[in-house]
Structure 1
Amino acid sequence: MSHPTASARHAAGTSTSDQPPTWAPAAPAIALLTALGVLMVGQTYTVLALLHPMSTALGTTPGQAIWTATAFGFAYAAGFLVAGPLSDRYGSRAVITAGLVAATAVTLAVSAAPNLPTAVALRSLQGLTAATFAPSALSYVVRHIAPQRRGTALTCITSGMLAAAVIMQIGAQAVAAGLGWRAVFSLSAALMALSLIPVGRVLRPTLRHDTGGGLVQAFAAMPQLVRRPRLAALYLSTVALMSSFVAVYTAVAIAGPPSVAGNSSAILALRAGALPALVAVPLLAPAFQRLVSPLRAVLAFALAALAVATGSFVGGHTVPLAIALLLFVAAVAAAAPAVVETINATAPHAGGAAVALYGCSMFIGASLGPQLTGALIGLGFGGILRVVAAALALGVLLTLPALRHRHIA
């Protein structure tokens, strides 16, 4: 065990007056937080692959069972707002650990839900507990990972969270086919419990600083952050990004060309086809770091808009559509960490609260995506994608103010 004074200095990731900062080892933290990102954020998407068996077992319909996803989503967004200030106050590792313990218990309870109302209530609690992870993980990177590795870490973690939409649905579908839908939640709970071991060994505790205002001050920082024009614009750009991400894949499923729409195998193939982008973008992160984060955000939004616009015209052909979606997902995977970095640089003294608002914005956007597609269904697949491309172009405009203040990144 290291000396207490040294441990505290390491935990803080900051320097004393006469010593340089000592950062936590990046590789094991990145690997652990990325894997946990897939598991925890993936709880959002597991039920999408389980609606039919769940509805049968709970004595309801798939349309009613979707409330297990909606309830999780609303609670998840609210949980972000709580987890960020808690992370600022008590440290990322402490919040991640407490969240994992709570999420393990609630996720196991979901596996035993006897009816739909109980399942909806438990999924709400699961959303609240799972939400403790993402803002705490991103805050850990900002506080403990060296600046030259920070961009790679944020890219890997956010890519894992995006990949969860595909990986966890595929995993849930496979487990449910062999063991039943309840086993999906039981297995998830077991993995959460086991992850407590590496969390305790890999992640460093954060040195707490009493600033006088305590937890109340941490929560009070949120409305102040939203009132800052550049930050508000970045949060709105995040809503545009994630609503576009979900809207595109919802459109593929319910309004796509005949070769894809209604064909579960084709839809799954298109989703899985985006996974190479989610692997490539983290590998290319060191090269991306040569550009300041606001510029990366602007370029990524522009690429996403161009890819979706192209997809709106080639949607009748599966292979060109798959390529367009691959570029689109790559752009989203590049934009998300760039926005996080820019937000943290803009509000360096309110990291947890700032990241919590970012996460809340992400999930608000993800929740709006299906509604956007549903509202535009009359325009057809191409029309929906052209509106989404316009929303992403708006994202370019929203990130431009940060580019004009490059010194913050």
Structure 2
Amino acid sequence: MSHPTTSPRHAAAPSTPDPPQAWAPAAPTIALLTALGVLMVGQMYTVLALLHPMATALGTTPGQATWTATAFGFAYAVGFLLAGPLSDRYGSRAVITAGLVAATAATLAVSVAPNLPTAIALRSLQGLTAATFAPSALSYAVHHIAPQRRGTALTCITSGMLAAAVIMQIGAQAVAAGLGWRAVFWFSAALMALSLIPVRRVLRPTLRHGTAGGLLQAFAAMPRLLRRPRLVALYLSTVALMSSFVAVYTAVAIAGPPSIAGNSSAILALRAGALPALVAVPLLAPVLQRLASPLRVVLAFAPAALTVAAGSFLGGHTVPLAIALLLFVAAVAAAAPAVVETINAGAAHAHGAAVALYGCSMFIGASLGPQLTGALTGLGFGGILRVVAVALVLGVLLALPALRHQRIE
């Protein structure tokens, strides 16, 4: 996990490491960036638990309300491409701070949206501002955490971002049940504003080593990477992975497994049941990393497809369905870092640009997931999951060229 986050600036020239005495304190830095990862990335997923009350308040349907998730995700994908080079140019702490201020305002604005078109526009703005966090946080960890702690830091931060999909849905459902859906955005905005205090106290300013040319170099590397078929296939596999992940949780929210449809407590338990997987996979990272990353991609995608396919037949049985979703989330949590490492290994010296494109493809996939579910609601919960399983099989096929390339080498 220590490779994928090399910045675009360092892709062009060797980095000059900070002297040992300059390393940031690992524990508070990791705790802060992991918590903020849950909060900021989780804004993508909060609306999946709010589709019904939002639809009622905005005068639309839950299926149409999924556009609030899609709009956020597409804007986040674009923002990810911009934030990485900006972080290199102006420093991670500066970009995180500015992004938190902007995201606080955008999140408050979403809470007062009077209709669906306005909510979609404001969610786009929220996604663009929230996107400043992830690449800046990962860049900060690479530059300021001591090498012996860096792997742990990156694993915790990226796991927090993935766990946000579950944690923030649970939190949003609980808040909305007592205070209404708009309160979810009030609380999120308040937490963003309050986090500015520890950001200024814990994070250190980053010296500006980059130049305007550094920005141009980062963007120029992206078209070159997109001319490499194996990397393009891996980016497409990322789209398949994340669209499937979000589609499954959207299906839980709007299609409803037959055994728990309309039962908010059961749906909450189903979401929470995946949390152990998001704790276990980071703990197992040292063992998993003994396998080559392309092999881990294939070995993770395959059980993801199998568990979703099995889950499509378990809608009438809550406990087996919860176990299937637990295994599915574990497979996704194992696949995501393996895809990053494989992309990084094939990116030569353009690591920062490669990871920026990976982040973009992640959130393009996350944006397509709600629309996939919305378009397939007529198939029912089981039918949606069977289509998702096919998408994951496609992800396996897209990852195979990287595995074959490794064997040839």
Give TM-score scaled by structure 2 length. Answer: 0.83
Q: List aligned pairs for 1:243-392, cutoff 5 A.
A: 243-255=243-255, 257-347=257-347, 349-377=349-377, 380-392=380-392
In structure 2, stretches of 5+ residues that fail to align are 1-12
Q: Which residue of 1 aligns with 2:6?
A: none
Q: Which residue of 2 aligns with 1:111?
A: 111
More displaced stretch, 287-296 vs 363-372: 287-296
Change (3 A) 1:249 1:129: same
Bigger relative contact order, structure 1 or 2, given CA contacts below 8 A and separation 6+?
Answer: 2
Q: Which residue of 2 aligns with 1:38?
A: 38
Change (3 A) 1:293 1:29: farther
| Structure 1: distance between partners of 2:37 and 2:109 | 21
In structure 1, stretches of 5+ residues that fail to align are 1-11
Change (3 A) 1:16 1:271: closer
Residue 313 of structure 1, CA deviation: 4.1
Change (3 A) 1:95 1:54: same
Give 1:35's aligned amino acid: A
Q: Which residue of 2 aligns with 1:399?
A: 399
Q: Which residue of 1 aligns with 2:163?
A: 163
Give 1:86's aligned amino acid: L
Residue 289 of structure 1, CA deviation: 3.0
Residue 128 of structure 1, CA deviation: 0.7
Please tell me whether the aligned partners of residues 70 and 366 of structure 2 are also in contact (alpha carbons under 8 angstroms). Answer: no
| Structure 1: distance between partners of 2:393 and 2:228 | 22
More displaced stretch, 194-203 vs 94-103: 194-203
Q: Which residue of 1 aligns with 2:140?
A: 140
**How big is the alpha-carbon RMSD for the aligned residues of Structure 1 and Structure 2?**
3.2
Q: Which residue of 2 aligns with 1:209?
A: 209
Q: Percent identity?
A: 88
Residue 67 of structure 1, CA deviation: 4.1
Change (3 A) 1:230 1:204: farther
Deviations 1:218-261 (A, max 9, x none): 22222222222232122111111111112223334455652134
Please tell me whether the aligned partners of residues 13 and 21 of structure 1 are also in contact (alpha carbons under 8 angstroms). Answer: no
Change (3 A) 1:316 1:179: closer
| Structure 1: distance between partners of 2:219 and 2:204 | 24
Deviations 1:64-121 (A, max 9, x none): 5544333323322221221122223333332222211211222223334455544333
| Structure 1: distance between partners of 2:63 and 2:318 | 29
- How many residue pairs match? The answer is 395
Residue 361 of structure 1, CA deviation: 0.8
Q: Which residue of 2 aligns with 1:236?
A: 236
More displaced stretch, 315-324 vs 149-158: 149-158
Please tell me whether the aligned partners of residues 135 and 352 of structure 1 are also in contact (alpha carbons under 8 angstroms). Answer: no
Give 1:277's aligned amino acid: A
User: Is the partner of 1:158 in helix, strand or coil?
Assistant: helix
| Structure 2: distance between partners of 1:406 and 1:211 | 36
Please tell me whether the aligned partners of residues 40 and 130 of structure 1 are also in contact (alpha carbons under 8 angstroms). Answer: yes
Give TM-score scaled by structure 1 length. Answer: 0.83
